[in-house]
Structure 1
Amino acid sequence: MDQTKILEKAQGYAVQGWDVAKEWLLSPQAWTQFGLLVAAYLLALFLTRRLQPVLDRLLTPPDEKTNVIAKTRRFILTFLPLMLPLLAYGLTGIGETVTRSIFDAGAVIAFGKRVFMFLAARILVNEVIKDPLLKVLGKYFLLPVAALYAVGFLDEVMTRLDQTVVPLGNLSFSLLFLIRFVLVGGAIFWLGRWSNDQTAAAIKRQEEMRPAMRELTAKAAEIAIFGLAFLLVMNIMGISLTSLAVLGGAIGVGLGFGLQKIASNFISGVILLLEGQATVGDYVELDGGEAGTIVKMTARAAILETYDGKWIVVPNEDFITTRVVNYSDSGSANRYEAPFSVSYDTDINLVPDIVESAVAAMPDVLSEPFPPDCELRAFGDSGIEFAVEFWVNGIDDGRHKYTSDVLFCIWNALKAHNIEIPFPQRVVQVKGEIRTRVK
């Protein structure tokens, strides 16, 4: 029965469409509108070919420019492919006004104008939009809506969608409401994500702020932006926030039981950012043996990058409840030492001055808080043992090999002063007469 009704309705639409087509084909007014439509497209094509190179040259900033004006020019430049269909749409609108004033009719040219709008939407989705979320929304929502608008069925389809109610327990909503919610929510949250990226980039450029404070400010801005986006979506869609009280209570119970670890890590992350004891760029070592440079701090965990390229995800709670060794807190210097030995034939009174002068001349070695200090450590089996203590900014690992460079420097300095670096030696004394019996 339902299939019969659908076929009858489709047949009715087909007959109606054929009558409209015959009316257009046999009407001089329709042919006039068609001629104006073609003329509008050709004029738009001519203007596009003339204006697009000029606009492309004016809007393209130099490659080295990265300021706000340059970014705005590049953003506008991405919309140049829309010039042809939008110009055709505008010129066709002028032609529609003319035909309606002369013939009191404009169905053909109005249809062409809607087709140009569909072409603009198609170019927007396929060529202009690069964001994956917006591309999906455009492909599955914007293009079908534009196609229905082009053929004149949009109002009828929207009425049917509004009449189709989906029950969900004590709640119910129409399909049209659901589609609007997805479109509005997706667009607003994309705008929120874009705003958050721009805000975070602007905050991280503030070099006068401590790294920890920059991270905390960026997180606070992120929470504020997406919180505002959520409230804006709820307000636009007409959803009362009081109706979310039950949902908020359920989330609170979940945080109290199943999500307490997540809540603990989140609060620990806020404490870390406030105190600034460990921040991005610090080299840390935890009690569990994890060690590396903090490359990112999220609401849940910190990401350490080891010198062999591995990433370790450490929960924020571990930084609060366990012992943490920070080798580079706030960019402070670190002290290392390089051991070496000299021969017993050496005048050891000369060694400290020679070594300290050579090491102090190295570019990576600091004079503050203390200059290089060469100390006598022991009288060893093979030589006299020394060690030079020195301070550097950074960790003696990975791409920085400070101790290795200092040892090279010591070797060259001692060789230049003819001071011998001994190798392991043993003196063997044989007591008593050795008798050899020959059989």
Structure 2
Amino acid sequence: MDGQPEIIKTALTYAEQGWVLAQSWLLSPAAWSQFGLLILAYVLAVIVTKRLRPKISQLLTPDSAQQNMLASGRRWLLIFVPLILPLLAYVFTAVGESVVRSLFDSGVVIAFGKRVFLFLAARTFVNEALRDPFLKLLGRYVLIPVMAIYAVGLLDVVSAKLSATVISLGNISFSLMSVVRGLIAGSLLFWFGRWSNDQSNAFIEKQKEMPAATRTLAAKTAELMIFGVAFLLLMNIMGISLTSLAVIGGAIGVGLGFGLQKIASNFISGVILLLEGQATVGDFVELDGGEAGKIVKMTARAAILETFDGRWIVVPNEDFITTRVVNYSDAGSANRYEAPFSVSYDTDINLVPAIVEAAVAKHPKVLALPYPPDCELRGFGDSGVDFAVEFWVNGLDDGENKFTSDVLFLIWNALKDNNITIPYPHRVVELHDKRAS
């Protein structure tokens, strides 16, 4: 072994220790009795589980029509039913361990079996109980390996080795154990923060009595608070003092002053927008740059507009503050539109306004307030007399609504019913015979 690498020597040393331990177990009556108790504990757990599991499942399964909080809690507890078998085996093994230690003053084998049952419980929990993809991934690659190391009795050794390895970065020093602990805790805190944020957003969105801008501001405030607390908890778990982050905070401040000033400006502009409520989710806006659409989402950096043709436009929050914005929904959803048309010169034009206004007023979406339909004479064209009818409606004349198209149909039918002709262009072509001249 003298010429072998260090890792090979360590592995052979552990293998030799394992062989000595196995020999001691195989030749010891106490070990055989512990093996027997392990088998008995598992068989007893299987028998009890077969009788107990159906009753527990029936007790926890609510009626499909029930959607209250109690029913949701029962459905949540139902996912832990597969853990009954390994946990019962663990409990029965623990009872057997106390008996063996009182008789033989030794319980190494049964303690190993108890850890194995705990490992099986963790494996069952990850494979059958967890539903969230992120938590399942975390359990598969973190919880199960940790429980496997614990089952073979090497968790303390690995923890001590990781704690003894220290890394220094300037004024900050931390061990590998704190890094591992931080990664695990950070992943859990990230998931919990995201879940909490989703729950708080769902709760805030249900408060319909609150203005839309206030709901959005409350949701963003809750998000900042949740992830701020998660960050402070993570720093505490990793053992990093907040005072040692002063240098990093100064660097971030310098970065904000130079490269990140646009991001900071957009963030502050977003807060101002939410506080003032001049543009919020659900409003249809048009900016000086030509961007127009319905605000479907407001983030810390930008607002997302959805156009009527299904495209999304990401507009920085700063543009809402520094440029002119036309909001078609801020002062109320009523908007005025007009539909142009022409009639023949043979028509008695004094009759046209009353006919058209009465026809347009029949449209179910045309409003009588703030003004009823108003037909106006616009001019005398080449082929006919030009009119336009102005009307007010709730909403926008695009997307789901085609108000102008409907109004033009009404005008066409009304004019036809009253024998009023809609002109079309006429051209006179004169042909001259040069030979005649």
> Do they fold alike, i.e. is TM over 0.5?
yes
The offset of 1:376, in angstroms, is 2.9
Pair 1:388-2:363 in alignment = no
Pair 1:189-2:190 in alignment = yes
2:241 paired residue number: 240
Pair 1:307-2:308 in alignment = yes
Q: Distance in 1 between matches of 2:150 and 2:95?
A: 19
- Residue 281 of structure 2: SS of its match in structure 1? coil
- Residue 119 of structure 2: SS of its match in structure 1? helix
1:270 paired residue number: 271
Q: 1:344 to 1:200 in 2, by over 3 A?
A: same
1:378 paired residue number: 379
Contact 2:37 2:96 in 1 (8 A): yes
Contact 2:379 2:385 in 1 (8 A): yes
Q: Distance in 1 between matches of 2:414 and 2:55?
A: 66
Q: Distance in 1 between matches of 2:330 and 2:265?
A: 24
Q: Distance in 2 between matches of 1:2 and 1:396?
A: 85
Q: 1:323 to 1:6 in 2, by over 3 A?
A: closer
* Between 138-147 and 241-250, the greater mean CA deviation after superposition: 138-147
Q: Distance in 2 between matches of 1:392 and 1:67?
A: 41
2:320 paired residue number: 319
Which residues of structure 2 form unaligned runs of 5+?
A: none
2:413 paired residue number: 412
1:426 paired residue number: 426
Q: 1:74 to 1:25 in 2, by over 3 A?
A: same
Q: Distance in 1 between matches of 2:353 and 2:52?
A: 76
The offset of 1:177, in angstroms, is 1.6
Pair 1:165-2:161 in alignment = no
2:294 paired residue number: 293
Q: CA deviation digits over 1:280-336, x for unaligned, max 9?
A: 111111111111111111111111111222211111111111111111226521111
2:84 paired residue number: 83
1:332 paired residue number: 333
Q: Distance in 1 between matches of 2:233 and 2:158?
A: 27
Q: 1:94 to 1:291 in 2, by over 3 A?
A: same
The offset of 1:146, in angstroms, is 0.7
Q: Distance in 1 between matches of 2:221 and 2:261?
A: 21
- Residue 386 of structure 1: SS of its match in structure 2? strand
1:151 paired residue number: 152
* Between 144-153 and 3-12, the greater mean CA deviation after superposition: 3-12
The count of aligned residue pairs is 436
Contact 2:338 2:404 in 1 (8 A): yes
Contact 1:382 1:422 in 2 (8 A): no
1:101-140 to 2 correspondences below 5 Å: 101-140=102-141
- Residue 329 of structure 1: SS of its match in structure 2? coil
The offset of 1:421, in angstroms, is 3.8
* Between 11-20 and 269-278, the greater mean CA deviation after superposition: 11-20
Q: 1:253 to 1:376 in 2, by over 3 A?
A: same
* Between 172-181 and 349-358, the greater mean CA deviation after superposition: 349-358
Q: Distance in 1 between matches of 2:291 and 2:403?
A: 22
Q: 1:425 to 1:256 in 2, by over 3 A?
A: closer
- Residue 278 of structure 2: SS of its match in structure 1? coil
Identical-residue share of aligned pairs (%) = 67
- Residue 419 of structure 2: SS of its match in structure 1? coil
RMSD: 2.9
